[in-house]
Structure 1
Amino acid sequence: MKDFATYLEGVQTVAIAGHVRPDGDCVGSCLATYNYIKDNYPKIEVALYLQPIPNIFKFLSRADEIMHSCEEDKTYDLFIAQDCGDLKRLGDAAKYFETAKKTICVDHHVSNDNFADENYIFPYASSASELVFGLIGEKSITKKIAECIYVGMVHDTGVFQYSCTSAKTMEIAGKLMEMGIDFSKIVDETFYTKTFEQNRILGKALLNSRLLLDGKMIASVITMEEMKQYHVLPKHLDGIVNQLRVTKGVEAAVFLYENEDGSYKVSTRSNGLVNVAELAVKFGGGGHERAAGFSMEGTPEDLINKVAFEIEKQL
């Protein structure tokens, strides 16, 4: 797979979708592809399906056109899955994937199971957005598309500080900056700026945290009751696990929050010695060597103990 243009020839309908609970890279990569098709292929009917996105990303071009409902029965000529490691992570949009005449997956998760007809998977890329930059082609990158890609790269690299950041990542970021995007505003308003409620729940998570495995692991839990008390939703918990990770002496950080059904979403981060992607796969999830996630059922104490047992084996 060299570019999107090859697969768009003779196509009349296209669906694009990313993973459930979309983050910056998911939103950025999907909107970049969506804008590319809308700008360059006016005769193609294209739809972008994502669950409701965080408000901080709604400034991106055509974000208001994202479809949140998949109730309509429709068969697409081409389905493009992005930043998604397996079919179930597409959520309700999976039904369009299963009926599409041709499917493509663009992803950078090491746990990706190559579920599409054509798989463009590079586990060591910084983000799906970085891959989309190449598939669109530099000549077709507009300022609006550049903003989408930059948002995705910023969020999956932690503003270019994570180990997934390469020289190529920085080169692409530089080219996007040359398009005239307000890169400092994007970083400040989508990555660093938090609401008062978000800062309070971060504080609560830090107060709830505890060290395990002789200080090599840190874990924290936020319950549904606490989310209601602090007036936050799951999407407002982004960044907490990364703050736990930077605790001195810690090799692995584990953050759990309770879902509506009583299960727990588990986010994990590693400082290098622990492969959390391998850990996540054991519990039915996936991700990267240093950042991965999964869902589990049980009491928080039991779940933390199970995860700690696997981390201890690796250490």
Structure 2
Amino acid sequence: MKIINEVKDAKTIAIGGHVRPDGDCVCSVMALYRYLQKELPEARIDVYLEKPAEVFACIPGIEDIRSDFQTQQVYDVFIALDCNDERLGNALPIYRKAGRRINIDHHISNTGCGDLNIIEPQRSSTAELLYDLMDPQKVDEEIAKAVYIGIAHDTGVFRYSNTSPHTLETAAKLLAFGFDFSELIEKTFFEKTYVQTQIMGRAVLESVRFMNDRCIVSMVTRRMMEFYQVSTKDLDGIVNQLQVVSGVDCAIFMYEIGTLEYKVSMRSNGKVNVADVAVKFGGGGHVRAAGCTMNGTYHDNINNLSREIAGQLKKQKEQA
């Protein structure tokens, strides 16, 4: 199936992704935007997304993103990428009004929210899945860059277990366009500002191990973010840094987004299914990477997460 066959008769198309968009989300949205612009030059195509982190300024067309979400336009088609409708944030009313809704995602927790649902958990990223839905003859260097960066971000630059032979085959096809992939990865994935490094260092310094040192947790408050003059976008990578601690099976990072409200990110080496944990609290994700939003005190939230993690580890021990 090719995506163009599903939208070729549409005069107006909207594309959106999840709140607090990560690399896969931003790059998938922009890759599809550029692709449909080429394929349907007469159609009106708009992108609705929260303002991405500055590191993605190198993505062609990023300046076209609409982050105001104020529109009376009823679109013929709305394509939601890398999430279900509940995570579209302020774009949700636009999605619901659309004549046809298409949902494209790779998260196993997505049960489908569109008139057409393309959910393939075996793909490493929505970007990889999206490339499968494109005509490779119509993909240019700008589209290839966006797809490549999206895949790289969701695979930890091809280090995570979701990297498959198909993932690497897709990446090889994209690299054939000849762009400087090394610089793109350095700029969008590894490079950090001084204050980003400071807040990461603070989070690692104040981290705590528990459950016989098999889990590690850290937290950043709004006051800390104000002190370092950082936003939530500057917190990317902290949970991954916690995960690399030797002997840790599960890393948890929380940051305060409101009074008694926290955004939770979890990473696992596979011994803990963090997607199952996240689903218990209204979130989702993958076996090794998942997240959710939780209400309550920091310690109450940790206790609730710990209970779910301990339950999994206990069951594994009983089955061993």
Question: Partner of 2:59 in structure 1?
Answer: 60
1:261 Cα offset (Å): 4.1
1:292 counterpart = 2:268: no
SS of the equivalent of 2:201 reads: helix
TM-score normalized by structure 2?
A: 0.96
1:26 counterpart = 2:25: yes
Contact 2:260-2:297 within 8 A present in 1 as well: no
1:6 Cα offset (Å): 0.6
SS of the equivalent of 2:192 reads: coil
CA distance in 2, matches of 1:114, 1:41: 26
CA distance in 2, matches of 1:8, 1:310: 42
Question: Partner of 2:40 in structure 1?
Answer: 41
1:1-315 paired onto structure 2 within 5 Å: 2-84=1-83, 86-315=84-313
SS of the equivalent of 2:292 reads: strand
Contact 2:102-2:117 within 8 A present in 1 as well: yes
Contact 2:124-2:163 within 8 A present in 1 as well: yes
In the TM superposition, structure 1's runs of 4+ consecutive aligned residues that sit over 3 Å from their partners are: none
Q: Structure 1: which 5+ residue stretches go unaligned? A: none
1:302 Cα offset (Å): 1.4
CA distance in 1, matches of 2:69, 2:118: 25
1:208 Cα offset (Å): 1.0
1:190 Cα offset (Å): 0.5
| Cα distance per residue 1:97-128 (max 9 Å; x no partner) | 11111111110111002111111111121100
CA distance in 2, matches of 1:172, 1:137: 13
1:154 Cα offset (Å): 0.8
Question: Partner of 2:316 in structure 1?
Answer: none
1:35 Cα offset (Å): 0.2
Number of residue equivalences: 313
Question: Partner of 2:318 in structure 1?
Answer: none
CA distance in 2, matches of 1:188, 1:59: 12
1:9 Cα offset (Å): 2.1
Paired letter, 1:95:
P
| Cα distance per residue 1:178-233 (max 9 Å; x no partner) | 11111000111100000000111111001110111101110011111111111111
SS of the equivalent of 1:158 reads: coil
CA distance in 2, matches of 1:90, 1:295: 14
What CA RMSD, in Å, does the superposition of the two structures yield over aligned residues? 0.9
CA distance in 1, matches of 2:219, 2:94: 35
Paired letter, 2:35:
Y
| Cα distance per residue 1:21-47 (max 9 Å; x no partner) | 111000100000000111221111100
SS of the equivalent of 1:296 reads: strand
Paired letter, 1:168:
H
Identity among equivalent pairs (%): 44
Query: Greater shift after overlay, 254-263 or 169-178?
Result: 254-263
CA distance in 1, matches of 2:218, 2:258: 18
CA distance in 2, matches of 1:238, 1:29: 18
Contact 2:275-2:284 within 8 A present in 1 as well: yes
Paired letter, 1:74:
Q
SS of the equivalent of 1:115 reads: coil
CA distance in 1, matches of 2:131, 2:259: 38
CA distance in 2, matches of 1:212, 1:49: 40
